Copies of this chain bind each other. A is one copy, B any other.
Amino acid sequence: MKRDRIEEIAELLDKRGKLTLEQLDEQFPNVSQMTLRRDLFQLEQEGRIIRVRGGAMSVKEVQKVSGEPYTKKTTIHTDEKIKIAQKAASLIDENCSLFMDGGTTAMYLAKELPDKNLHIFTNGLAVAIELAQKKNVNVTMLGGQVMKDNLSTASPVAKAYFDNTNFELAIISASAFTPGNGFSCGAQIEADLLKLARAKAKATYMMLDSSKIGKIMPYTFAHIEDIDVLITDDNFPANLKALFTEKNIVVM
Taking beta carbons and an 8 Å cutoff, which residues of A are in contact with B? Answer: 46-48, 50-53, 57, 59-60, 62-63, 65-69, 71, 125-126, 128-133, 135, 138-146, 148, 151, 153, 155, 157, 160-161, 164
Contacts and interface: CB of A to CB of B under 8 A. Distances in A.
Contacts of A47: 65-68, 71
B140 A145 contact: yes
A140 B131 CA distance: 20
Contact of A60 (B68, B130, B148): B68
Contact of A146 (B141, B155, B157): B141
Contacts of A67: 46-48, 59-60, 133
A65 B59 contact: yes
A133 to B, nearest CB: 7
B59 A50 contact: no
Nearest to A121: B143
A63 B52 contact: no
Given A50-B57, A51-B53, A67-B47, A129 B145 contact: no
15 contacts: A47-B68, A51-B53, A60-B68, A62-B63, A63-B68, A65-B130, A132-B148, A132-B151, A139-B146, A140-B144, A140-B153, A143-B143, A143-B153, A157-B160, A157-B164
Given A67-B133, A126-B129, A143-B144, 16 more contacts: A47-B68, A47-B71, A50-B57, A50-B62, A52-B52, A52-B53, A60-B68, A62-B63, A63-B66, A63-B71, A68-B133, A125-B129, A133-B148, A135-B148, A139-B146, A142-B143
B141 A143 contact: yes
Contact of A69 (B69, B132, B160, B161): B132
Contacts of A129: 65, 68, 125-126, 129, 151
